[in-house]
Every structure is written in structure tokens, then in C-alpha cells.
Chain A
Amino acid sequence: MPVKPKEKPAPELTPARHPMEKFLRTDRIPHIWCAGCGLGTAVSCLLFALDELAWDLDSVAVVSGIGCTGRVAGYLKLDSYHTTHGRAIPFATGLKLAKPDLKVVVFSGDGDLFAIGGNHFIHAARRNLDMTVICVNNFNYGMTGGQVGPTTPIEGRTTTTPFGNFEHPFNLVYLAASAGATYVARWTTLHARRLQHAIVEALTRKGFTFVEVISPCPTNYGRRNKLGEGLDEMRYYAEHAVIRHGADPKEAEIVPGEDFLIGKFVDTEKPTYLEMYQAKVAQLRGG
């Protein structure tokens, strides 16, 4: 697929300034992430997406959990909330229901969203709550030193699977689709513009939208599994990521050394939680 030419001129890049600096709490920079980590790219994609949408920033709130990805909320010049581990989605749910006009984005990691927070994820998707969940999937717990996670591939080496993982991992695309998400996409940090575009779509669709970002963690997962530096992982994505929009989510499994699917898997519409709620209220009031 040819990359759509940008209308806007490319922002000027100087080492000291981030092109999306207006969205960043520059007093909190430098960030804590390792060289070669995909988190910076993932955050930038969100910021470029917000820039593209040109929304009033007071209308956006970012909620994140605990972990390397959980630190995202703290760097954004947006109303943000760094919850306890796993609880980003229920907090965001309360936030959204109390302030339905707010655009609520949950930005967190695979362990936070799908292990300790897994139950909350499926129920928010089932309710079709209006929120966008961006999950940076780096296949392990980076912050606590690289433990096995719900997405660690079979044979993956981590500090808690020193002999190789033998548990089946989640296919997050399939999980989100079957739990009821109305928009499901997966990109890697190599596909920055497409990722940005997917985030724009996810933010503008109604209902529960989900974007998975495959991302390198060279320090923990990469080192233990001999995947090389962050750049090597990008090469790996270039060689193995196959864009196939509309593919069956079931086929989106990730197996090391084999090609894996990226793209937009689900893009549908159904009544959201708030719409259902309002319909119920109207019905009871005899409206």
C-alpha cells in the first residue's frame, strides 16, 4: 500500500526539540525509557494523531497503568492519570461515565492490560464503552526486570521462564475482536505513519476501539531472546510483518521467526454503552 503523501510540511527536526513538544511536559524529559525501546515511537504516534485531529486538548484525558508503558501518562501535557497496576480501564470507565464528553484514551502495556487487567479489558469491550485502548505489546514485563507475560511467545526466555515459556500466549487482536471491540488494528513501531493513522481512526470511531502496537524491548525481552538491538527488531518487523486488512483475527497469531499479520482487522459499529443507557432511560421514562 503506497503511503499517503502528507498535506502538512514535515515538522522541523532538531535534536533538542520534539516536533510535538506542545503535547509534552518537557520538564519531565528526559524520559526513563531505554535506547531502542519502541515506547517513544508509540507515544509520538499518539501525539501526531492528536495533532492531526486538532482537538481541544482539554477534551482528551489519558489513563495508564503501571509498567514502562504506564509511564506514558506522566509525559503528556494532557489531563492524565497513572493508576495502580491493571486498573487503567476501570478508572477510565468511571471517568467516561462521569464526563461523557471527554475523549478517554487508555495507554498501557500488555501485562498491565491483559494479565492483571484482563478481566477489565474484556468487560469494557463487551459494554462497548466509548474509549480507545492503545496497548504497547513488547512480550514481557520490562519495568520489573523482564518476567513472562500473557503475550510472551512459546519458548520465550524471561526471568521467570529461564528454560523457555511453554504457555500459549494471547492473540490480542482475536481477543479484542471476540470480546466485542468495534475497531481493532495492529501495527508495529516500524509502521509509524500507519500507526498514527490507526490511532486517528480509533479515536474518531464510536465505541470500544483497540490498537495493538508491537514494540521492541531490547533491554529485557530482546537481550534474553537474542533479538539484537532495537534496530534489529525493526528489521525483523520489516521482513516479517504482513499487512492484510480485514484478515480473520484468528489468524493474527504471532510466532517467532514466522510472518505475522498487521493492519486493520475490525471496523464496525454497534450501539455504545452510553447509547444503550440513554435508550433505557428514555424507555423507562416512557419517551
Chain B
Amino acid sequence: MELVVRIAGAAGQGVQTLGELLSRALFRHGLFVHTEMSYHSRIRGGENAYTIRVSDSPVLATKEKAHVLLALNDEMLARYGSLLVDGGAVICDASLSPSARAVRVPARELAARELKLPIAAGMVLLGALARFLGMEMGVLRDLVRERFGDRAELNLRALELGAERAPAGPWGLPRGDPEGRHFLNGAQGVGLGALAAGCRFLASYPMTPGTAVMVYLAAKSLEHGVVVEQAEDEIAAINMALGASYAGARAMVTTSGGGFALMVEGLSLSGMIETPVVIHIGQRPAPATGLPTRTAQEDLLFAVHAGHGEFPRYICAPRDPRDAFYLTVKAFQLAEKYQVPAIVLTDQYLIDSHFTVPEIDLSRAEVSDFRLSPEELARIPEYRRFAITPSGVSPRAIPGVSEKLVLVDSDEHDEHGRITEDLGIRGRMVEKRLRKMRGLEAEVSPPLVYPEGGLRGKTVLLGWGSSFGALKEAVDLLNGAGGDYALLHFSEVWPLRTAELARAFAEAREVIAVEGNATGQFARLVSQVTGLRASRTVGKYDGRPFTPEWIAEEVSR
């Protein structure tokens, strides 16, 4: 059983509210729900579409064609009416005249006349849609009550008015049990991960889509004791985070590519003063301001190479919101353990999309304290913040706990952290910092192979990050059509694990990179590190997320 429902309207017509209500209600029905939000960079007008994919088995990607379209205006009817499957249906106001099969409800009139609240027209249509889908109205009503509190009555009336006027459609939605599952978006995944990792400080500057993590943590700041500071720009934000980190707090920043560009000076500083910081980058299409509310995987090589000078870093690119949780915890953990910057690379699609995922297992979220305790510090006769060690990791004390000084310097420095121009020390310090890379390399988990097993003779699709769900389904589609395909997918991209790549390239008939950019950035990274070259790159750079059908078509071209 699979059903795709799309709600489309202008910004300001409540598309997001309706979409969130419906998708959460479907989740509570015990179904697997995946949402995708597509919107113009503006607060009013334009186009907003909320695509909800529902199934009785797990779904991890969005679809282009819908079975049912709730169109809030004429433009959206025209724009998305052509993206209905054969025999699809439209729910819309009685004043609209769609060519497809339609349930038309005088929603605007009812909202104005019966409810004296024109904006409630959307809620009337939602009631009609819910009835048409054969949903249990009780679940939706509960959600409306939770969301609107003392303003719920009018909205409940609106739902009822719509439901009364719609027939039950042909979809007998099965009921399941949502127990043991979460309904999360990427922003929540990253935010929850930060909280679980003991993040105590976030400084950031508004930039879509990274801001969603700041908004999430700001709302949780009191409850969890996190300082959330909106900086005057991203340069300030990352330096604030480094200050907090020097003081011992687990610190992060959240931004997008353009904001990260401003943080690059601070990234290099983090490398030099070996002070941990976690950087969340929600990618969006660029260069420059680009497409603020669309998605892309364009900043991988930028993240890998950003910063003047040479220093180690860790970069992960989660596959889904649950993965975002675990990898954000890991990013904090590795940043602290190796005293390096760690980057969590997501994108607008992952940040804004809700996924139905198995419950998060908190016991898998390892959080350990790598700082020197005051007692340990007391036992060290002569404390050297940048002591040269075999692993490259020096004991990290927190300033202000004893008479022993914690000195850091953005200039080259000696083991004590004192500025130096001794070129012998310089050489040893470079080597010490870079030695940490070896430890980091051993921390990175292997990529995922789908279907499990060997790759001999197969055409292997190579991907990374949030494209996972669509790629996995594309492999199923291609194999279902008689192909012999497999997926090799990375969610930790730096340091790059090479063993699995070497094997895949040796065994596969062909390796095709599939990425959300035009130049095959991951394929280029692989080739830079291993010398292995994908035979071609399938790139998507139109700002829209991957769909399984699109990948299958492009790959078999």
C-alpha cells in the first residue's frame, strides 16, 4: 500500500500547518510517513508544496507524482495538477474547476460565512481530504487541539464542515501502531543529537536552512540549560563558540554554505588552537545567495578544504533524521576527543523533511568527557596545553581551575601555547596536529552496501548524505526491471575510508556517482584520495530533492 498526498498553496495560506497536521495524524495512524517541503524564498505568495508519502512499510524518499492533490488556489492546481498519477484526485474549493477527478467543497464560503475566518478555508479542505482518505477523524482532532489550544474550537468546526461534504475515497488506510517509531525532521535530529551530546552553547546567525536547528535549540534552551546566542554575523558566531569551547563547554554553530564561508577564518583558528567546535551546515544551492529555500549537496569539497593551512577535521553527512542524531553525537564526541572542528553536513531537504524512523537508542549515544579534571591537572607537575604526544592529542585542561595556565595562541606556539618563531618547533607542531588524523581515520564507520553482499559484476551507484533513501529505492527499481545494481553509500565522508572503495572499484562492472551537485564532488574527492575514478556522474542541481524514479531514469540513460 502506498499513497502520495500533496498540499499546495501560496505562502501564508497555511500549507505547512496543514501538512504537518495531516502527516503527523497519518503517523499516529501507525503508518510510515515521509514528508517533503518545497517553498519559495518569501513569506507571502509564491508556491508552497508539502508532499506526504504514506506506506505500510518504511519510506525514505519523496515522489514527484501524487495520488491526491489538495490545491489551495488556481495556480497550484495548474502547477501540480499535471503531477498527479493516472486516476489521481483533486481536493479543492468549489470555485476552482480542475480537469482531474475532484472533490470540490465550498470551503472559502463556509469559512467566511459559518466561521467568519477566511483563513480556515484550508482547514475545511483538510477535513474533506481526511474523510476522502478514510482517516479516523479522532486522531486529527486530537492534533488540532494540541496545536491550537484555546483556538481549537473554530478549527475543529472547520474540519467537520469539510468532512461532512466529502465522500470516502477508495483508500482503506490500514491502521498500525506507531510505538517504537519517531516522526522527526533533520533539524530535530541534529538538535536532539546536540542535546544528547551535552551541547551547552550555540551561537549562530540566521540563514536558511541551518537556522532551523537554532530555533529548535532556542526553544529547548531553558529546559536543557543551553546558552543560545544569536550573533551579529557568522564570524562572531564561530568565535563565540570557540570561546565557549576554550572555557570547557561543548559548543556548536549552525549555518548554511554562505554563512560557513564567513566562518572559515574561525575554522582555521579551531585547527590551530586545537579547540573543538561542531559546525552544522545545511546545504542549499549556491554560489552566493543562490536558492535560499532549496536543496543541494554543493558544499562537500568546500567543507573538506575550507580554511587556510593544514589541520585535521571530521565530516559526516547523515542519511536521515535518526542518522543525524547519532552522527551529531559522534561529531561532538570526535571534536572533543581529537580537539578538532567537526562538521555535520545536511541540506534543506533533510532539515525540512519528516521521516518515520525506528526509535532512537540513547544507549548508543556515547558521551564521554575528554577534558582534564582538576584532579588530573593537579597531578601534572608542569602543564603544557600543546604537549607533543604520539597520538597528537594533548591533554586539554579548562582555564580557571588551578594556578596552571591554559594558554592558546593563533600564532604558531610551543608546547605551552606560547607564541614562537622557532622553526624546529613549528615543524613538530605541524606533525603533531596532523597525527590526529590517523586516530580520526580509525573512528570512521564503513559505508553502507545495499543490497548486502558482494559487488562483483554489478553497476554500483556511489552516493553520500541525504540521497540515501532515494538511491536505495532507485536500486530496487532498477533491479526490479532486470538490472544488476548495488549502492555504496557514505554517511561519514572525511576522513575518507578507502578500503571499501578499493574493493568496490575492483569488483564492480561500473561505478556511477550520484550527487546533488553538477561536478561530482564526492567522486572527485574519491579520486583525489584513492586515484579511483567513477565512470560518470549523475548530478542533480535544480534545487529539488532526489526521487527514486529520477535516479533510475538518469542512471539507465
C-beta contact mask, A81-107 vs B, less than 8 Å → 1, else 0? 010111000000000000000000000
Bound-state Cα–Cα, A142 to B40, Å: 14
Cβ-neighbour of B289 out of A32, A84, A150, A161 (below 8 A): A84
Contacts of B46 in A (CB 8 A): 32
A148 touches B219 (CB 8 A): no
Is B44 part of the binding interface, using a Cβ–Cβ cutoff of 8 Å?
Answer: yes
A219 touches B44 (CB 8 A): yes
Cβ-neighbour of B12 out of A34, A118, A147, A150 (below 8 A): A34
Top 3 nearest A-B pairs by Cβ distance?
A32-B42, A116-B233, A144-B206
- Separation in Å of the B301 CB from the closest CB of chain A? 20
Contacts of A219 in B (CB 8 A): 12, 43-44
Contacts of A115 in B (CB 8 A): 205, 232-233
* Interface hub of A86, A142, A147, A160 (most chain B Cβ within 10 A): A160
A147 touches B206 (CB 8 A): yes
Contacts of A160 in B (CB 8 A): 206, 211, 214-215, 218, 228, 230
C-beta contact mask, A137-152 vs B, less than 8 Å → 1, else 0? 0000111110110100
Q: Which residues of A (27-69) have their CB < 8 Å from a CB of B?
A: 30, 32-35, 66, 68
Is B207 part of the binding interface, using a Cβ–Cβ cutoff of 8 Å?
Answer: yes
Contacts of A33 in B (CB 8 A): 43-44
A85 touches B208 (CB 8 A): no
Cβ-neighbour of A84 out of B43, B215, B228, B288 (below 8 A): B288
- 10 contacting pairs across A/B (C-beta < 8 A): A35-B44, A116-B232, A141-B206, A145-B211, A147-B206, A147-B215, A160-B214, A160-B218, A161-B218, A163-B222
Cβ-neighbour of A111 out of B206, B221, B288 (below 8 A): B206
Is B395 part of the binding interface, using a Cβ–Cβ cutoff of 8 Å?
Answer: no
B232 touches A118 (CB 8 A): yes
Who on chain A is nearest to B261 by CB? A84
Tally of contact residues, B, Cβ under 8 A = 27
Contacts of B208 in A (CB 8 A): 144-145
A162-B44 contact in complex given A115-B232, A144-B211, C-beta closer than 8 Å: no
Is A220 part of the binding interface, using a Cβ–Cβ cutoff of 8 Å?
Answer: yes
A220 touches B45 (CB 8 A): no
Is B258 part of the binding interface, using a Cβ–Cβ cutoff of 8 Å?
Answer: yes
- Separation in Å of the A187 CB from the closest CB of chain B? 24
Cβ-neighbour of A34 out of B44, B222, B228 (below 8 A): B44
Contacts of A147 in B (CB 8 A): 206, 211, 214-215, 230
B211 touches A32 (CB 8 A): no
A66 touches B43 (CB 8 A): no
Is A171 part of the binding interface, using a Cβ–Cβ cutoff of 8 Å?
Answer: no
Q: Which residues of A (139-189) have their CB < 8 Å from a CB of B?
A: 141-145, 147-148, 150, 159-163
